[in-house]
Structure 1
Amino acid sequence: MPKKTVFAEHAAPPGGPYSHAVIAGDHVYLAGSVPVLPDGTRLGGAPFADQARAAFANLATVAQAAGASLSQAVRVGVYLRDWDDFAAMNQIYIEFFGEQNLPVRTTIPVPLKGIDIEVDAILYIGQ
């Protein structure tokens, strides 16, 4: 099965040697998205809500660049530096994914450096 890599011009630049997304068959794999603005400005140190919205907005922008949307997510991974941000993340998550027909999700605390959140997703674009 051939794959197609995606670069999202209007999302934060990748933080290393990887693609924003890869389309393989009926799935789009979105790389981890962090609270960085499209111009490369890091939002580490900003309030959690600002960081979370920036990370989810980057994820949505990458999905759009791949010809899809977050409404097609079948799996989401959320990585939090501080578990105390879980409730706030859930409220912001709903802004991007709604309250119905939600994807599966894993949320885990991880020792992120300089940021409070990272998110990734898998989208299904088949029939």
Structure 2
Amino acid sequence: MPKSVIIPPGTSAPIAPFVPGTFADGVLYVSGTLPFDKQNNVVHVGNAAAQTRHVLETIKSVVETAGGSMADVTFNSIFLTDWSNYSAINEVYAEFFPGEKPARYCIQCGLVKPDALVEIASVAHLGRPEV
């Protein structure tokens, strides 16, 4: 099965061996996305809502680079470091998915950088075989 790597313009080098997105058989898989700036430093330290917005904007850029929109997102995996941030994360999340919501799960866990409060990975169905 052919696949295409999706890297939005201006994307910095990842901190591990992965790409921002992979498109195969009409489906876009967006890697776990953390609230990183271009130098892979955590942004908006201590602010779960701002970190969530940054993460979802980054995911949006991957989806749009592949030719889709956030309406094409069908599933999200959400990782948070503390349940006390759940409400703030959901408020921002709802802004990015105002209509029918994607399926999702949310778990509390440790993340790769201690100042990161949220990480999200997504799946989008773009309905065409190649990018």
TM-score (norm 2): 0.87
How many corresponding residue pairs?
126
Cα deviation, 1:4-42, whole Å, max 9, x if unaligned, reads: 111112445422111110000110000011101245442
Structure 1 position 80 matched with structure 2 position 84: no
Partner residue of 1:64? 64
Q: Which residue of 2 aligns with 1:5?
A: 5
The sequence identity of aligned pairs, in percent, is 25
2:34 counterpart of 1:34: yes
> 1:48 matched to which residue of 2?
48
Aligned to 1:121: 122
* Residue of structure 1 in register with 2:89 after alignment: 89
Unpaired runs of 5+ residues, structure 2, are: none
Tell which deviates more after alignment, 7-16 or 45-54: 7-16
AA partner of residue 87 (structure 2): A
Deviates more, 1:2-11 or 1:49-58: 2-11
**Cα 1:36–1:90, aligned 2, differ >3 Å: closer, same or farther?**
same
- 5+ unaligned residues in a row in structure 1: which ranges? none
Report what 2:23 is aligned to: 23
Query: What is the root-mean-square deviation in Å for CA atoms of aligned residues?
Result: 1.7
Contact 2:46-2:117 within 8 A present in 1 as well: no
TM-score between the two structures when normalised by the length of structure 1:
0.89
